[in-house]
Structure 1
C-alpha cells in the first residue's frame, strides 16, 4: 500500500490559482470533491492524514458502508493515488494545506498571516498545488 502523506510540509496554492483570497467551495446537490475535502478538514484540523482525507472523500462519494470501509480502503490504496497537491482546494479555491510533524493536515487560507508565515517557514518542505493548465 502506497501513501500520499507528507510530514512537516506546506502545500501552497497553485501558481495559476484564480483567487487572491481563499474561498469556500459551494455545496451542491452531489457534493464535489472540493466541498467534501473542505468540510472534512476544516471541521477536523490536524485530525486526519492525507490518506484519511482522500479515502473518506472516496467513501462518501461512492456511498461505501461503514462495515465495508476496511476492505474498500485496502482496494483504494492498492493502486497509486494522487496526493493533496492535486486537490481543487489548492488549485482553484485558494487553500494551503499544512502537514504537521505527525502527517495530519489542516487548511490555511490564502491571504492570511498564517499562510504567509507557513509559506516563509524554511523548516517545512515547501510544495505547490498542481497547476490547472500547462505553463
Structure 2
C-alpha cells in the first residue's frame, strides 16, 4: 500500500511559482478543478485530513464513486504510487504552502503570512517545496 502522507513537514510554494500571494483557485460550480476541490477540503478543514484523504476524496468525487464502494476503491487507488500534494497546483500556481503535522494531517498556509514564514524557518520540520512547473 502506497501513501502520499508527510509527517512533521512543511511544503513551501514551488521556487518557480508566479504567485505573489495566496489565492483561491477559480471555482467553477459545474466542474470544479482538482485544485479547487483540494482547496475546499483543506481551507475549510485545517488539520482534519491527511494527504491520502484529500487526494483519494477528490479522485473519488470526480469519478463518481459511491460511498459504499470507496473503501475498496481507496485500496485499489493506493495499490500503486500516486502524485503527492507537492504536485498540486495549490503550491505550484496558487501560492499555498502545506503543513503536515505529527499525525500527517494537512493545513494550507498562505505565502507571505507570518505562519508561512515561521513554518518555512522551522528546524523541527522537514522542509521541501512544491514541484517546479518547468524543467531546468
Please give the alpha-carbon distance, in whole angstroms, between the structure 2 residues aligned to 1:79 and 1:5: 14
Q: Deviations over 1:75-107 (max 9, x none)?
A: 100111111100110000000000001110000
Look up the match of 2:76.
75
Matches within 5 A, 1:14-93: 14-28=14-28, 29-93=30-94
Please give the alpha-carbon distance, in whole angstroms, between the structure 1 residues aligned to 2:46 and 2:63: 24
Counting matched residue pairs gives 135
Q: Are residues 1:6 and 2:3 paired? A: no
Please give the alpha-carbon distance, in whole angstroms, between the structure 2 residues aligned to 1:92 and 1:19: 6
Using the size of structure 1 for normalisation, the TM-score is 0.98
Using the size of structure 2 for normalisation, the TM-score is 0.97
Structure 1 unaligned spans of 5+: none
Please give the alpha-carbon distance, in whole angstroms, between the structure 1 residues aligned to 2:62 and 2:17: 25
CA contact (8 A) 1:31 1:61 kept: no
Look up the match of 2:120.
119
Moved over 2 A (4+): none
Please give the alpha-carbon distance, in whole angstroms, between the structure 1 residues aligned to 2:64 and 2:18: 31
